[in-house]
Amino acid sequence: MEMAIVESVGSIPLQDPPEEEFSSADLSWTKFGNAEHHDEVALIPYDRVDAFIVGECSNVLCPTRFHIERGRKRTIGTLKEYKDDEYLEYRLYWCSFGPENYGEGGEILPSRRYRLNTRNRAARPQSMRGCTCHFVVKRLYARPSLALIVYNDRRHVNTSGFICHGPLDRDAIGPGAKKIPYICNEIQQQTMSMIYLGIPEENILEKHIEGIERYCGSNAKANSLASQYVHKLGMIIKRSTHELDLDDQASIRMWVERNRKSVFFHQDTSESDPFILGIQTEWQLQQMVRFGHRSVVATDSSFGVKRLKYPLFTLLVFDSRQHALPVAWIITRSFAKPDVSKWLKALIDRARSVEPGWKVNGFLIDDAAADIDLLSEIFGCPVLFSLWRIRRSWLRNIVRKCNNIEVRREIFKRLGTLVYNIWGGTNTSVALEQFMLDFVDQTDFMEYFKVSWLPKIEMWLSTMRNFPLASQEASGALEAYHVKLKAKLFDDSHLGALQRVDWLVHKLTTELHSSYWLDRFADESDSFQNVKEGYIASTSWHRALQIPDSAVTLDDKNRLFAKVASQKDNSLAHIVWNPGSEFSSCDCSWSLQGNLCKHVIKVNMICENLKGCQPSMSFRSFEEVLMDLRRKPVDDSFELDVSLAWTHQMLDHIQKFVELNNSHDIGTIVNDMPLKWVSKKGRTYVGKNSSISAAISRIRNTESVVIHKKNRKRKRLSRLR
């Protein structure tokens, strides 16, 4: 019997299958529309949408994942007239084996065998198969508790109509391939990451098989094919080259052509336009949407100005452990307003195409020369300033250019005082003059200071005075990224390649990307314990949290220095000079390389709780913001009420912070909390890490995380997004 076409949403039956997860096969589908055009639809409660997506991913014949290809949102009340199927939220989910086809020219792959070492081909194994399977979830404008699923293309086939992945794909990977599914993105990414990190092949294989068995169960044939797969992928990666063409520019054009999904902006060099390449993989996009929303986005600007052909600009978010995670790379020499605004807008549009309403609460810069007006206009949020870059340059140059240890720490301390004086009313130019007189015999350092800093120091200081300053935790996290980038890129074996953009792109998108991917994966899935531990300890802030308070002794009298006993060897101690300041230095080797070391951070954590110690720069700057607010004249308008309410809420927040901070019996307060505060900003994790990181992301991102009672389910869902 021909099924009738239904014309109103009211006539579509509401279905709510009892299973924890369900798929399209568990629903009955209604034709909705009119005789000329109709869709296959089903109506379910909105809060069961996740259960449907999980179920649809576990399709036995075509196991897959669905990602959000496009999204749109409306606000209630914005439509006066609307049809009964109008959306409040619209999301287009696409099978992750599509929509692109990475075969030549977008056609079906001529041969579905391994594409081995065909020179000039980036290692891009066959995960994008051009699958057309997709559906739309509309949260109804008229009835927000309901979701209408529009699902016309339910088969996992490519545009030619052939099943393109899963065990039914007739000519999958080589002979006998019917028995094994294609490797989905996640397992492939995992395997690639492990290869890039140089993990032994047998360990890679073991994890690879574990991954496949989640889809198709254990099977000897599949295992032997998996072993070939891992081995061949290793060969592909080993032989893959950044040099797609001898000419760098042509090579980059080819790379862009082959990696469209990872490029959010590209402008080739021409007479009128400078070269700009904006790279963001889909995984990075997901991370930016997830961790950047209502949080802080930061930059590591002008990396490699002297050594690379074009400097690298990185955008970072702070992940669930407050570690800096690179979510976009921009390679260009141009920082002209029109150029910057072009790529920034492209990037934000991209995030909003996935998550409408995506918004940043603060943008953290590290260079006073940045176009602050432009940034705050485009992101529509306040700009914060981090001291890490200036601190690092000064310390590195002091260590490099002054031999005497006492002179070193005195110069650094004086520079610190200069910075701290931005609120003190001291005349900067007089203080600077005195500083240069006092250290006039340090000719090397003074030469550097005069050339590199004197012309711009006023500008930097005024930026620090006028913008909120970021915490040491954020500074440490950004520095950790910077150091990692340096280690990966300036490893001596590549000296000849530094002037090639294709090499830089290759390094970023393979090794660096893989390493961050695996770090996050290890943490979220609680696997790869050594990777996970290394990742957690990758910022000096986290390393400082491992030092007990008892290891720190302060020189009581003048507080000139503090001693931190070594945890490994009790007879060893590190000396931190100028404790309680961002400009304190330590005698450990990490600090001597210009880094913010764990000893300095630990000592400062302790100093923040001591009477008579100056507060940190970021706290001082926060106080300034509050004082400024007090001084502002206001009228008696409704705006004032709103601001008052906000301010109270914020003060409440701070009050709780301070209470915790000053309480003698902190234990009683934190007993019920998932987080334990050891000092103002110092957190230690109690209990099992996976639940903690979930708790943190819940706190940080209350809006976007739906709390499910079932952990397993939450984990799976977080991977879908």
Q: Is 544 in the site for Zn ion (CB under 5 A)?
A: no
Q: For residue 584, state whether it binds Zn ion (rule: CB under 5 A).
A: no
Q: Decide: is 151 part of the binding site for Zn ion (CB under 5 A).
A: no
Closer Cβ to Zn ion, 153 or 213, answer by number: 153
591 binds Zn ion (CB under 5 A): yes
Residue 391 token pair: 């601190």
For residue 416, the minimal CB distance to Zn ion (Å) is 16
- Please state whether 304 falls in left (phi above 0), alpha (psi between -120 and 50) or beta: left
Report the amino acid identity of residue 450.
K
- CA 333 – CA 345 distance, rounded (Å): 18
Q: Is 97 in the site for Zn ion (CB under 5 A)?
A: yes
Complex with Zn ion: residue 147 or 157, whichever CB lies closer: 157
Contact between 329 and Zn ion by CB under 5 A: the answer reads: no
Interface with Zn ion, residue 409, by CB under 5 A? no
Give the separation between CA 491 and CA 487, rounded to whole angstroms: 6
Q: What is the CA radius of gyration of the chain?
A: 28
Amino acid at residue number 420: Y
Place of tokens 């009955």: 28
Please identify, among the stretches 18-26, 123-131, 335-343, 486-494, the one whose residues bind Zn ion according to the rule CB under 5 A: 123-131
State in angstroms the smallest separation of the CB of 544 from Zn ion.
10
Q: Fill in the amino acid letter for 607.
A: C
State which of residues 156, 290, 323, 716 lies at the interface with Zn ion (CB under 5 A).
Answer: 156
Among 588, 605, 606, 694, binds Zn ion (CB under 5 A): 588
Nearer to Zn ion, 56 or 89 (CB): 56
597 binding Zn ion? (CB under 5 A): yes
Among 12, 42, 49, 131, binds Zn ion (CB under 5 A): 131
Q: Is 565 in the site for Zn ion (CB under 5 A)?
A: no
Residue (165 or 266) nearer to Zn ion, CB: 165
**What is the helix (H) or strand (E) element at residue 339, kind and residue range?**
helix 337-354
Q: Which stretch binds Zn ion (CB under 5 A): 81-89, 206-214, 398-406, 588-596?
A: 588-596
- What order do you get walking across the sheet with 362-365 strand by strand? 263-267, 276-279, 324-332, 312-318, 296-303, 362-365, 383-385
Kindly tell me the number of DSSP H helices and DSSP E strands found in the chain. 25, 20
Q: Name the token pair of 557.
A: 């009298």
Q: How far is the CB of 101 from Zn ion (least distance, A)?
A: 12
Is 65 among the residues that bind Zn ion (CB under 5 A)?
no
Find all residues with CB under 8 Å of 316, minimum gap 6, and list them: 297, 298, 299, 300, 324, 325, 326, 327, 478, 481
Q: CB 232 → Zn ion: shortest distance, Å?
A: 23
Report helix, strand or coil for 42: strand
Q: Nearer Cβ to Zn ion, position 156 or 290?
A: 156
The answer to whether 679 and 471 are in contact (CB under 8 A) is no
Quick one: which of 627, 582, 634, 572 has its CA closest to 605? 582
Which lies closer to Zn ion via its Cβ, residue 31 or residue 563?
563
155 vs 648 by CB, closer to Zn ion: 155
Q: Does 543 bind Zn ion (CB under 5 A)?
A: no
Nearer to Zn ion, 127 or 284 (CB): 127
End-to-end CA distance of the chain: 40
Of 266, 290, 599, 676, the one binding Zn ion by CB under 5 A: 599
What tokens were used for 192? 């690639």
Q: Does 561 bind Zn ion (CB under 5 A)?
A: no
**One symbol per residue from 478 to 517: x for binding Zn ion (CB under 5 A), - otherwise; what is it?**
----------------------------------------
Please state the closest distance from residue 172 (CB atom) to Zn ion, in A: 13
Per-residue H/E/C for 140-158: ECCCCCEEEEEEEECCCEC
* 157 contacts Zn ion (rule: CB under 5 A): no
**Which is closer to Zn ion, CB of 316 or CB of 588?**
588
CA gap 24, 50 in Å, rounded = 13
Write out the two tokens for 72: 């749109």
Contact 295, 361 (CB under 8 A): yes
Q: Which CB sits closer to Zn ion, 488 or 563?
A: 563
Binding of Zn ion by 586 (CB under 5 A): yes
Contact positions toward Zn ion, by CB under 5 A?
64, 95, 97, 131, 133, 156, 574, 586, 588, 591, 597, 599
